Structure 1
Amino acid sequence: MSEPLTLTSLPLFPLGTALFPAGRLPLRVFEVRYLDMIGKCQRAGAPFGVVALAQGSEVRVAGAPPEQLQAVGTLAHIEQLGQPQPGLMTLVARGEQRFRIDRQHRLPHGLWVADVTLLPLDPTVAVPDDLQPAANALRQLHERVAAQPPEDVPAGVLVACDAAYDDCGWVANRWAELLPLPLATRYQLLTLDNPLIRLELVADMLARAGISA
């Protein structure tokens, strides 16, 4: 059995949401600490880490205590990057592998970096018959989005990479991104290692919301 892969000094982007593997996250970056980080990651072709906030705000407020970060996050690679004006970057980040923070450190200019251990990828688990409505509803949503002009697509609804409507983890992750969930619930789903259980929980949420039968 191979040792888990670790990364040192991974730059972190704390957010009031969670990024899931294979998901796509649009970001607007204007703080100096993150403009510098994104520029360096783009030039090096290197990832950064998206972590959910346990406490604090996405935008640093003078005099406020440092942010508190959740222990599990997701590697993010820059898929699209633009600079519409000086001091502003827009990008789409693609979620890759989850990680667990081993040690974290806040640099003088406010950027968090961490030594992390990568977590195992989800095993491929076929969507069982009783959870198929969740997969069907997701496919229908994506088909409706694909048929709309880009300007009519709701903010944040980005069709994820490499569609896999027959895989429990992929379907659960996409719904976890789309549903209007409290951050604590979304983070809990991210930390679950069993993709079947993750999809079962999501299917219950969909049923309560009347989204899938």
Structure 2
Amino acid sequence: MTVDALPMFPLGSVLLPGELLPLQVFEPRYLEMVEDLTSSPDLRRFGVVLITRGHEVGGGDERADIGTVARIVDYERVQGGRLLLGCVGEGRIRVRRWLPDNPYPRADVEPWPDEGSDFGSDSIDEVGALVDELGGLLIRSAAVRGIPVPGFPKLDELPGEMGDRVYALAATLPLVAVDRLRLLSAPGPCERLMVLAEALGDVIAAVRFRLSE
């Protein structure tokens, strides 16, 4: 992917590379965007960035400058003229410049692959221990509330490079949008592991607080 004008879909959530993204499209400008993108198999990609202030509908929002390319893998027109999309996150991008929202949001973007950084087994072990601790707390919480708890994968059981593994693990965890954006904005795997450890610490503290009430 080279620097180019890319259709953009600002959302109230953060899409991580490798993550699945279901979308329901109903706003006219985004319906037009999808119609343009699905006119050819080679055009089925758009950028997703977090709305940092404002709303998804109507424009006038403030947007993050780090995002992810989403590829449309499935789409269906449903009642009321809405479109249901199935998308998957691909590479990370940086927004160089926002273009006029005419007829829909677009931006000049550049790819942002992981920057080389070393990571040690200590960081991997720390994240693994925190995930195990969170899982145990959520089992206790679920028992009180009578709901099932999904299991979390192990970093060393996930495919791909370490940077991709951290994304894949993070996608399964109950992280807020700000922490997901921090993960996406980390230069490389080492920094991403540190951000994930810090975010897990915050989630664990919140779950412990709820259990103590």
Q: Normalised by the size of structure 2, how large is the TM-score?
A: 0.71
Q: Which residue of 2 aligns with 1:17?
A: 13
SS at match of 1:43: coil
Distance 1:82 1:200 in 2: 40
SS at match of 1:27: strand
Say if 2:54 is the partner of 1:67: no
SS at match of 2:39: helix
Which residue identity is paired with 1:18?
A: V
Q: Which residue of 1 aligns with 2:183?
A: 189
Q: Which residue of 1 aligns with 2:124?
A: 131
Which residue identity is paired with 2:17?
A: P
Q: Deviations over 1:91-129 (max 9, x none)?
A: 1211111111112123344x2111111112466988836
Say if 2:173 is the partner of 1:179: yes
Where do 5+ consecutive residues of structure 2 fail to align?
136-147, 205-213
- Residue 198 and residue 42 in structure 1: after superposition, are their counterparts in 2 closer, same or farther (change >3 A)? same
Distance 2:62 2:198 in 1: 30
The correspondence of residues 146-157 of structure 1 with structure 2, limited to 5 A, is none
Q: Which residue of 2 aligns with 1:57?
A: 55
The structure with the larger Rg is 2
Distance 1:130 1:49 in 2: 31
Which residue identity is paired with 2:186?
A: L
CA contact (8 A) 2:119 2:189 kept: no
Distance 2:183 2:79 in 1: 36
Q: Deviations over 1:108-152 (max 9, x none)?
A: 44x2111111112466988836525856969xx9xxxxxxxxxxx
Q: Which residue of 1 aligns with 2:142?
A: none
Alignment equivalent of 1:203, drawn from 197, 201, 210: 197
Distance 1:174 1:127 in 2: 19
Q: Normalised by the size of structure 1, how large is the TM-score?
A: 0.71
CA contact (8 A) 1:175 1:202 kept: no
Distance 1:43 1:128 in 2: 47
Larger CA deviation: 177-186 vs 119-128:
119-128
Q: Which has the higher helix share?
A: 2
When the two structures are aligned, how many residues end up with a matched partner? 183
Where do 5+ consecutive residues of structure 1 fail to align?
142-152
Tell me how far 1:200 sits from its aligned partner. Answer: 3.1
Distance 2:72 2:115 in 1: 22
CA contact (8 A) 2:186 2:195 kept: no
Tell me how far 1:55 sits from its aligned partner. Answer: 1.4
Q: Which residue of 1 aligns with 2:4?
A: 7
SS at match of 2:38: helix
Alignment equivalent of 2:39, drawn from 33, 43, 46: 43
CA RMSD of aligned residues (A): 3.3
